[in-house]
Amino acid sequence: MTLRLGDTAPNFQADTTQGPIDFYQWKGDSWAILFSHPKDFTPVCTTELGYTAKLRPEFEKRGVKVLGLSVDPVESHHRWEKDIEETQGTAVNFPVIGDADRKVSELYGLIHPNASDTLTVRSVYVIGPDNKVKLSITYPASTGRNFDEILRVIDSLQLTSEHKVATPVNWRDGEDVIIVPSVSDDEARQRFPGGWNTVKPYLRLVPQPKSKG
């Protein structure tokens, strides 16, 4: 199965390092990240899980729940977590799915036979409160993910889901955004009474609107 942007993320039940979960019940109406790891006790994954644990305040600030996965069993995850805490300086503080039967991996298309018949690729799914896939990124096994970039994208996703704007190249939270072309100038005057900068008729820059939340 291949999940594309806008698809509904499938529900599942699984054992994790923090007990059994039903994905939809665990997630509730929050945003969520599901990210897969090729194997326990591997160097790149060790750094990734440690850094993700350090980012917990940033995820909580954005209302995002984090869920890891690899094809090793939960018992192996628990042993590995001791190494992660020792080497990365932070205990893993989010659940990690034990997917030894590859049920969740196959449901989410995380096994890529041309890369490996047995191990999951290094994928990230960002799933919205509506259970739709908002972002998917797949990295090669040799390349660690950039979770600062994932946070940046979540900021953009949450902002653009609330306002009729898009974010330009290399945008960071607090910087100017783009009024989407479907918004007429008349509508824009109502939405953005402070005005905007028209670079081209299709490129209108405006200060980032404040969240209503």
For 79-92, how does the pLDDT look when each residue is reduced to its tens digit (9 = 90+)?
Answer: 999 999 999 999 99
Same domain, 126 and 63: yes
Give the count of domains, the chain: 2
Same domain, 134 and 171: no
156 belongs to a structural domain:
no
What pTM, to 2 d.p., does this model score? Answer: 0.91
For 47-74, how does the pLDDT look when each residue is reduced to its tens digit (9 = 90+)?
Answer: 999 999 999 999 999 999 999 998 899 9
The β-bridge partners of 33 are 66, 126
Same domain, 28 and 106: yes
State the Cα–Cα distance between residues 127 and 146, nearest whole angstrom: 18
Q: Is 45 a catalytic residue?
A: yes
Here the CATH number for the domain that contains residue 167 is 3.30.1020.10
> Among 3, 34, 45, 71, which one carries the catalytic annotation?
45
In the sheet with 64-70, reading across from the earlier edge strand, the strands are 96-98, 64-70, 31-37, 122-127, 133-139
Residue 28 burial by Cβ neighbours in a 10 Å radius (0-12, 13-18, 19+):
exposed
22 belongs to a structural domain:
yes
Q: What is the mean pLDDT of residues 122-132?
A: 94
Here the CATH number for the domain that contains residue 33 is 3.40.30.10
Concatenate the DSSP letters of all residues of 7-72 into one string: PBPPP-EE-BTT--EEHHHHHTTSEEEEEEES-SS-HHHHHHHHHHHHTHHHHHHTTEEEEEEESS
H or E segment at 149? Answer: helix 147-162
Tell me which residue range forms the domain holding 66: 13-145
Q: Which residues lie below 8 Å from residue 110, measured CB to CB, with a gap of 6+?
A: 36, 69, 104, 120, 121, 123
State the Cα–Cα distance between residues 56 and 65, nearest whole angstrom: 9
6 belongs to a structural domain:
no
Q: In this prediction, what percent of the chain has a pLDDT beyond 90?
A: 81
- Does 213 have pLDDT greater than 90? no
Q: How confident is the model at residue 117 (pLDDT cuts 50, 70, 90)?
A: very low
140 belongs to a structural domain:
yes
The β-bridge partners of 38 are none
Length of the chain: 213
Angstrom CA distances, 130 to 24, 32, 144, 161, 195, stand at 10, 11, 29, 11, 32
